[in-house]
Chains A and B, each alone.
Chain A
């Protein structure tokens, strides 16, 4: 179950999207998310869907992989849909006891579901096609202006890339501890929510201890390899915009302008 989270998991393959500058992909993802909130009708969502579909096609990542990330938010998705479905006032379509489904509610629920799933799939396209390292490189460069306000941009980027690197390792470890505890009679499955939460304590304590130990080791290994923060550091893969990046910015601008036009005139 824990292995299903694809967010932050790079999918190795050759594609145009993989080759794009991470900054372009970051900006594009943000624009795409904003555009989902800009558009309000079906034409707009259709535009977003087409844009997303083209990106997925271009990325060469199997669609199955994108959907995997959705499993993590199924619960949130359900809550949103249910709330919108039953709590929106308007023309009643169907009612049982005190619950009413309205036409507006139905519309809103579907829209919210589409919006949320597009949001997740959209960001999955970015994380699946960009190595976390280049992603944090991109963030570091995009956020460089914040340095004026004494924001430790490099350090934050480094922390993020390390966190991402350790996700699979810690998941594996969780799995191992879980099995070890189950072998000694721990029960993670049965009982109500409170009981289940309590059962997690003997899982989390050793996990945290091991995470701290790993952090300590890693810090030492980094220091041993001359790491001393962002100063004097050169890049193995420096970010440089190429022709395709400019073209991508162009496509993005057209898409975003279209969304705004749809919102205003339709």
Chain B
């Protein structure tokens, strides 16, 4: 069993009218089976309302399944005794950087998690230093979060999670409110954590460029997993992705259109370099 595993996970939002009668039931997550290996970089894609955030909140035991089970490192999230262990092992970073920073000073915010866990004072300082260095925000430790850019705030949020020494981090659209530079900063920090520290990453996003380096990609639609595979496998199904209302990276799309027009290019091209090489090869072949 991997570090995160879900089996037939179902979650229903129940809408009630003013008297508390059930008005309707929305299945946000519908029979999802997920298995994430320790140390993997997993991306979950999906357009708005596809259930990806709801799924993420199950891994951190913020929401509990209506049906099915979620295990984090072998612990069932419905087991109340393990609640704090689960939340420590599966850290979570949310979308809006302003709404998740508790401290008035960067270092105090990073220390918030360890404080809650009851870590000894000296160790808290050590962890804060390590975490801030891991995301490249150590010079800003004395700053007020209000003075930082969006990307920097989000990196502080990530440091706040790392300070809890989690085995995996779930990032729920961490770049949705950032500008392109901030997005790059955050993705770089997340990749470094995965490569250097070996922390399992679950990245939820709707930006295609961010999932190119993932080990495994799940595409969600209407609460179900519609596609899964490596980024290359996913991106070779351009038509299917369009059907799911997802954008494909421009390079991939260009390669796809060229191929449709008769050029012999491989499927699922992800980077500009790859396309250039494939085109050169094709050019030489034709010449």
Q: Which residues of A come within 8 Å of B, CB atoms?
A: 10, 12, 131-133, 161-162, 164-165, 168-169, 214, 217-218, 220-228, 232-238
Contacts and interface: CB of A to CB of B under 8 A. Distances in A.
A64 B117 CA distance: 42
Given A131-B105, A133-B104, A224-B62, A236 B125 contact: yes
Interface in B138-159: 142, 144, 146
A234 B100 contact: no
Given A165-B103, A224-B60, 6 more contacts: A133-B103, A133-B104, A225-B116, A234-B114, A234-B118, A234-B121
A233 B116 contact: yes
A228 B118 contact: no
26 contacts: A12-B144, A161-B104, A162-B102, A164-B104, A168-B146, A214-B99, A217-B99, A217-B100, A218-B99, A221-B92, A221-B94, A222-B112, A224-B87, A224-B91, A225-B112, A225-B160, A225-B164, A226-B87, A226-B88, A226-B113, A227-B112, A228-B116, A234-B121, A236-B108, A236-B125, A237-B121
B225 interface: no
B94 A220 contact: yes
**Interface size grouping (class) on chain B:** 35 or more
Contacts of A237: 108, 111, 121
A100 to B, nearest CB: 50
Contacts of A224: 60, 62, 87, 91-92, 94
A165 B100 CA distance: 11
Contacts of A164: 104
Nearest to B84: A226
Contacts of A132: 104
Contacts of A232: 116, 118
Contacts of A10: 104, 144
A236 B114 contact: yes
Contacts, number: 97
B282 interface: no
Interface string B37-63: 000000000000000000001001010
B142 A12 contact: yes
B229 to A, nearest CB: 29
A165 B102 contact: yes
Contacts of A218: 99-100, 102
Nearest to A231: B118
What 10 A-B pairs are tightest by C-beta distance, nearest first?
A: A221-B100, A236-B111, A217-B99, A226-B116, A224-B92, A225-B113, A232-B118, A236-B124, A133-B104, A227-B116
Given A218-B99, A225-B164, A234 B124 contact: yes
B137 to A, nearest CB: 16
Given A224-B91, A225-B113, A225-B164, A235 B121 contact: yes
Nearest to A162: B102
B28 interface: no
B120 A234 contact: yes
Contacts of B87: 223-226
B7 interface: no
B186 interface: no
Contacts of B128: 236
Contact of B62 (A12, A223, A238): A223
Nearest to A215: B99
Please indicate which of the listed interface residues A12, A220, A226, A235 has the most CB atoms of chain B within 10 Å of its own CB. Answer: A226
Given A131-B104, A162-B102, A226 B96 contact: no
B99 A235 contact: no
Contacts of A226: 84, 87-88, 113, 116-117, 164
